[in-house]
Amino acid sequence: MARGTITPARAVFDGADGPSPAQEPGAVHQARADALPRARHVFVGGNGLPGRWQGRERFVVLETGFGLGSNFLVTWDAWRQDPVRCGRLVFVSVEKHPPRPEDLARAHAAGPLAALAGQLLERWPPLTPGLHTLSFDGGRVTLLLGLGDARPMLRELVLQADAFYLDGCVPAADGAPWDAYLLKSLARHAAPGATVSTWSAARSVRDELASAGFEVLQVPGLAGMPEMTTARFAPRHRPQRPAGREPLAPRALRAVILGAGLAGAACALALSREGLACTVVDALPGPAQASSGNPAGLFHGTVNPDDGPHARFNRAAALATQRLLAELGLPHQHGLLRLETRLALERMQGTAGYVETLSAAQASALAGTPLGHPAWFYPGGGAVDPAAYTRAMLDASAAELRLATPVAALREEAGAWALLDAAGGVVDRAALVVLAGGHGQLPLLGGLEGSVDSLVVQRGQLSHLPDATWCPGVPVAGDGYVIADGRGGVWCGATTQDGDLDPALRVADHTDNLTRYARLAGLSQVPQAPLAGRVGWRLIAPDRLPLIGGLAAPGPRAEQLRLQPRRPGLVICTAFASRGIGWAALAGRLVAALAVGSPRPLEAELLDAVDPLRFALRRQRRPGA
């Protein structure tokens, strides 16, 4: 659903130059002098906060209309001030016209929440459509910012909200501030006992809330607003949640994660941020010694004119990687050039802050060699040492590591999963087990129907050229890729051989990699180099998206992924193909959200796009296809 571009709002300060009548509603944010007290009264107080979150593990707020962020900042501040606050605050806000960073800065610069606003600004995302996850206070506060039109965005959110802030305005045809569809959709997202508050006292709003199952109250507003509305979700019949969207391990306090590669480390980090104690089990003697042990690798988004699931998933993942690397303070190369060999520059369309278009001359200047093609430049992309990234995530997770511990089988037990060694002894057991063992875990998955069919194991070899004629100023990807090693050499790669399990470095593969290097560098001769490099394997699904989610519970198959019951306590997170660096951060977050039931960091359509049962469902719909 995230097609199109996001137009930032215009902010109006001090009541000056009010909105022009021609302006789309919501495209102008009024910086009000009373914004903070109003937010405290209408939204925080109106929803019974901070009292309602006290003693809870997690509290979820869903807001329509982020505006200049006052409601978020006031809520975050109230959470910080409260000694008996909930463990985690998740604030989800849907905004069609987000503010420009300079307006955000100006709106809060002189106010009491300037320091919090500063943190928000540091993490402010490029204005691309879809969900953006911003973390604060060590991951205990999350802002999930949904950029796009409220109606489709609300349809795509997967969450249960404890409080709704009905702000902004998405006018209905009859002039009401929100239409009936939008108000009804609140009920679909309401946790038991959820509350609503809004500045509006409109009759239509109250009637629609009542017909959506809310008990509505008329309460005093602030000065200049004699009345406002609050409501509590009290439906006559409790709505049935789709079985496939139920949390997989809502009560687990501990998780065992199979695999100490990028996937396992990212899951450990995200789960530990949700408060779970994590143990990571790996057959090898150290972390990141299988596919994630390459010396360097790229991460970046992708661009696709129709902004389909791949482009949207890759974009969300790349932005999540960029944010996590910054949070971890991990040194890496910033910026990445991807050559465009099919489109002319005039037909390429970038998005400020996410991907820029460069002419061949501009790209060549950045790369330090004539490239002969225009390029996409990803300022937030780059290159990183994947093993260092894996270790940094594991360190930040404080997970217990159980290395040199091969797992031979899985066994379902009452309320838990046990990992068994080759002799049938229990290696570990937990209410939540995450299968993040890359291609090495395939023998374990045979019995878990629908999870691993059609996956391909692909060999890949990287080559190292110690004294390179050309060391690019930023990593360059085209037909092959080149990453400077910081010592006058480059890593270039990589080969692709399906089903080939040969671990030995091959001269022919080096020649392949160096030939592509020479072509990118514009060299007439392929450099001769000593035999140095690394071999690894990629695990690839047919549609080249990862497998992240729950596996099918025994029993009849549902016709939609969202309705398919899952095996409790088991999540798979694998098939990272050639994008493990760029996907890990988002994948880990998603695993944690699926396990504990916190708001999913991806839209429903993308949850289905990475669901491990998608191939089984497609086959069921088209037998023989």
Ligand X SMILES: Cc1cc2nc3c(=O)[nH]c(=O)nc-3n(C[C@H](O)[C@H](O)[C@H](O)COP(=O)(O)OP(=O)(O)OC[C@H]3O[C@@H](n4cnc5c(N)ncnc54)[C@H](O)[C@@H]3O)c2cc1C
Nearest to 282 by CA among 299, 265, 297, 270: 265
- Judged by beta carbon, residue 431 or residue 462, the one nearer ligand X is 462
Q: Which of 62, 209, 290, 324 binds ligand X (CB under 6 A)?
A: 290
Q: Give the binding range for ligand X (CB under 6 A) out of 112-120, 232-240, 291-299, 562-570.
A: 291-299
- Judged by beta carbon, residue 23 or residue 289, the one nearer ligand X is 289
Q: Which of 1, 68, 252, 298 binds ligand X (CB under 6 A)?
A: 298
- When asked if residue 264 is in the footprint of ligand X (CB under 6 A), the reply is yes
Those residues with Cβ within 8 angstroms of residue 425's Cβ, 6 or more apart along the chain or in another chain: none
User: d(Cα 589, Cα 273) in Å, to the nearest integer?
Assistant: 9
- When asked if residue 437 is in the footprint of ligand X (CB under 6 A), the reply is yes
- When asked if residue 333 is in the footprint of ligand X (CB under 6 A), the reply is no
Q: Which of residues 19-48 bind ligand X (CB under 6 A)?
A: none
Q: Which of 72, 164, 377, 537 binds ligand X (CB under 6 A)?
A: 537
Q: Which of 126, 261, 478, 549 binds ligand X (CB under 6 A)?
A: 261
- When asked if residue 494 is in the footprint of ligand X (CB under 6 A), the reply is yes
Rg (CA), the chain: 25
Q: Which of residues 579-618 bind ligand X (CB under 6 A)?
A: 579-582
- When asked if residue 262 is in the footprint of ligand X (CB under 6 A), the reply is yes
Q: Give the binding range for ligand X (CB under 6 A) out of 92-100, 161-169, 255-263, 498-506.
A: 255-263
In the complex, minimum distance from the CB of residue 281 to ligand X, in angstroms, rounded to a whole number: 6
User: d(Cα 73, Cα 89) in Å, to the nearest integer?
Assistant: 12
Three-state secondary structure string covering 15-68: CCCCCCCCCCCCCEEEECCCHHHHHHHHHHHHHCCCHHHCCCCEEEEEEECCCC
- Judged by beta carbon, residue 264 or residue 597, the one nearer ligand X is 264
- When asked if residue 533 is in the footprint of ligand X (CB under 6 A), the reply is no
DSSP assignment of 284-347? SSSSS-SGGG-S-EEE-----TT--HHHHHHHHHHHHHHHHHHHHT---EEEEEEE-SSS-GGG
- Judged by beta carbon, residue 192 or residue 443, the one nearer ligand X is 443
User: d(Cα 390, Cα 436) in Å, to the nearest integer?
Assistant: 13
User: d(Cα 173, Cα 196) in Å, to the nearest integer?
Assistant: 23
- When asked if residue 164 is in the footprint of ligand X (CB under 6 A), the reply is no
Angle, CA 251 vertex, CA 246 and CA 252 arms, to 5°:
110
Q: Give the binding range for ligand X (CB under 6 A) out of 110-118, 177-185, 202-210, 532-540.
A: 532-540
- When asked if residue 279 is in the footprint of ligand X (CB under 6 A), the reply is no
Taking CA atoms, 263 is separated from 28, 91, 330, 397, 488, in Å, by 42, 26, 17, 13, 31
**Residue in this structure with the two tokens 């087990």, named with its chain if needed:** 433
Q: Give the binding range for ligand X (CB under 6 A) out of 185-193, 231-239, 278-286, 595-603.
A: 278-286
- Judged by beta carbon, residue 282 or residue 603, the one nearer ligand X is 282
Task: Note the Cα 183 to chain centre separation in Å.
Answer: 27
Q: Which of 62, 387, 444, 468 binds ligand X (CB under 6 A)?
A: 444
- Judged by beta carbon, residue 185 or residue 458, the one nearer ligand X is 458
Q: Which of 43, 72, 299, 378 binds ligand X (CB under 6 A)?
A: 299
Q: Which of residues 363-382 bind ligand X (CB under 6 A)?
A: none
Query: Cβ-count burial of 502 within 10 angstroms (0-12 exposed, 13-18 middle, 19+ buried)?
Result: exposed
- When asked if residue 417 is in the footprint of ligand X (CB under 6 A), the reply is no
- Judged by beta carbon, residue 208 or residue 428, the one nearer ligand X is 428
- When asked if residue 282 is in the footprint of ligand X (CB under 6 A), the reply is yes
- When asked if residue 440 is in the footprint of ligand X (CB under 6 A), the reply is yes
Q: Which of 8, 99, 213, 259 binds ligand X (CB under 6 A)?
A: 259
Q: Which of 146, 438, 527, 597 binds ligand X (CB under 6 A)?
A: 438
Burial annotation 562-583 (CB, 10 A radius, 16+ → b, else e): eebbbbbbbbbbbbbbbbbbbb
Pairing of strands 400-402, 277-281: parallel
In the complex, minimum distance from the CB of residue 389 to ligand X, in angstroms, rounded to a whole number: 10
User: d(Cα 225, Cα 251) in Å, to the nearest integer?
Assistant: 43
Pairing of strands 254-258, 490-493: unpaired
In the complex, minimum distance from the CB of residue 310 to ligand X, in angstroms, rounded to a whole number: 14
In the complex, minimum distance from the CB of residue 553 to ligand X, in angstroms, rounded to a whole number: 23
Three-state secondary structure string covering 109-120: CCCCCHHHHHHH
Length of the chain counted residue by residue: 625
Interface residues with ligand X (CB under 6 A)? 258-264, 281-284, 289-292, 294, 297-299, 386, 406-407, 436-438, 440-441, 444, 460-462, 493-494, 536-538, 574, 576-582
